[in-house]
Structures are given as structure tokens and as C-alpha cells.
Structure 1
Amino acid sequence: MSRRAQIRMTPDEVRAYLDEQRVISVATMSPNGRPHLAPLFYVPHGDGVATWTYGKSQKVANLRRLPQATVQIESGHAYEELRGVSFEADVEIVTDTERVFEIGSAMSARYDLTGGATGPEVDGFLRAQAAKRVGLVFTPTKIVSWDHAKLAGTY
């Protein structure tokens, strides 16, 4: 078995990894042909992820031209701890305010964006934010993963 095959995560391991991590790096294509890289909080969504961001951001302008991105999530400090998932994705830009609110609510719950507050005031805040934002849903078309702990210290 190849080393590459040894460190590959199973689909269940990939989903579990996405559940436990907190920040993705998203690469979109800038008008000048160079990658535009941005870190984002996210929520797991199917086999991919979803997030929200300001509709006038550079990444959204890039995605309106070409709704494709590469996403990477990684962790670990020492070689034997390195884990990660990288995927090419088709990206849906969500403009329906109710759907954007749902993504924002999931983000708020995951990251405690409201300091534990709940109720109508929080919903009002999230709805006001949703009106200024778009949702981004990243659906993987190709997934690459690695978990060096599977090598059990042999390199």
C-alpha cells in the first residue's frame, strides 16, 4: 500500500474532522489570475461546508465570476500530528435572506458569536447581518485528506 493511501482519511473521518475544526482557508481566483486566499469560520454542510460573508467582499466578487474554490483545513504541529482536508468545490452563492439567516444562526451557535445571548434581540441582530451578507455553500468535487498519525511513527 502506498504512503498516500495509508494516510488518507475515510469519508467518516473527513466529516468528523470538519466537525472538530474551526477555520478554513478559501482560495478563489482574482481578476488578475492569482489566487485570493481568505480564512473563514464555517459550519459543516453535507460533505462540504457553508459560511456567510459580506456580499461586497473580494472573495464574493471572485466567486460571482467563477463559482469554484479550493478549501483547506489543517492542524498539527509535529510531522506525526499533521492532519488535514483539502477540496476543490463548486460554490453556491446564497442571496435568499432567510437561508443566509439560517447559515448565520448555525455559525452563531457554533462560535458563540452572541456571547451566549438568545432570544428575539439576537434573532434581530442576526437578521440584520443576514441582510448585508451572502451565504457560501462549498460542495466538494474532489477531496484530498491526510492523517500522519496513521503512520504510527514510521516514515
Structure 2
Amino acid sequence: MQQQRRGRRIAMLPEEVDAFLNEERTCRVATSGQAGPHLSALWFVWDGSALWLNSVVKSQRWTDLERNPQGAVLIDAGHEFNELRGVEIRGRFDVVGDVPRSGAPDPELAAPEQLFARKYTGRDEMHFDGRHAWLRLTPQKITSWDFRKM
């Protein structure tokens, strides 16, 4: 993975990145399609090495990633300037599991589905609606900042 070179003074430590990504709930997903850039907000989970998104299959985001699997995600927080912090993850999105997700046992999805269910519903079991499937963003570069360190 490519290392962050600029802004190291305010960069989060790896354990701070993990804590931040486990705490925050909404990310902004950037994809590129025939009509240009596309941004969308989505819930996510972080497993310590990849970001997992449960995406509607019939969406512009999904169509864009089928054509070009490279993209970026931004997770940020803070209101006042000296509170701003965030993480940008750039990399490749991969489809994992069946499309749409049926809920059939899949060892590769057991952990992200449990993380997702606990984070957003407070339960251990995932709900499957026949419209969503899993995207895994494997980081090629992570950039972080925490202006509270200034």
C-alpha cells in the first residue's frame, strides 16, 4: 500500500484510523462513469484491512464500478475547522459473494455481515432484500488527517 507523504504531522496513527472508521457511519463513494464523476453516500464497515459496502446492485455506483473498479471513499467528521478529521481510501472495488446477496452461507462474508448488522441494527443477523450485494474496497492508499493535532 502506498504511504501517506504529505501532512504527516496531522495524520492519524493506524490505530486511530481503525477507531475512526469503526466509529463513523457514513462514507462518500466516488466512482467514475461515462458521464464523469459520481458521488454517493453509503453506510460501510471496516474490518481492519478493507472497507465493505452493501450497495444497491441497480445503481449508478454499481454500473460505474463494473466498468472501472478503481474508486475512492471519504469518511469525515467535525464541524469547526480545528475539529475536522477524516480518512480517504483509494483502491480497487471487488464484488464479493452472490449478486444480489441471497443470504446463503458465504465464509468470506461472515465477518463483514456481522460487523454491518451490529453497527447499523444492533443485532447479529443481516437482513437480505434481494437488491443489495457486497463491494470490498482494498486500499491502495490511505490518507488521513486530524486537525485536532494542530
**Percent of pairs with identical residues:** 35
Alpha-carbon RMSD: 2.4
Structure 2: how far apart are the matches of 1:66 and 1:3? 27
Aligned residue number for residue 81 of structure 1: 83
2:24 to 11, 21, 25: 21
Which structure has the highest helix share of the two?
A: 1
Matches within 5 A, 1:58-73: 58-73=60-75
Alignment pair present for 1:7 and 2:6 = no
Kept after mapping to 2: 8 A contact 1:52/1:104: no
Aligned residue number for residue 120 of structure 2: 111
Query: Any gaps of 5 or more consecutive residues in structure 1?
Result: none
CA apart distance, 1:47: 2.5
Q: Which has the larger radius of gyration?
A: 1
Kept after mapping to 1: 8 A contact 2:29/2:71: yes
Match of 2:7, SS state, is helix
Structure 1 runs (4+) greater than 6 angstroms displaced: none
Superposed CA offset, 1:18-40 (max 9, x none): 011110000000212x2110100
CA apart distance, 1:132: 2.8
Aligned residue number for residue 142 of structure 2: 143
Structure 2 length-normalised TM = 0.81
Matches within 5 A, 1:23-38: 23-32=26-35, 34-38=36-40
Kept after mapping to 1: 8 A contact 2:31/2:39: yes
CA apart distance, 1:104: 4.4
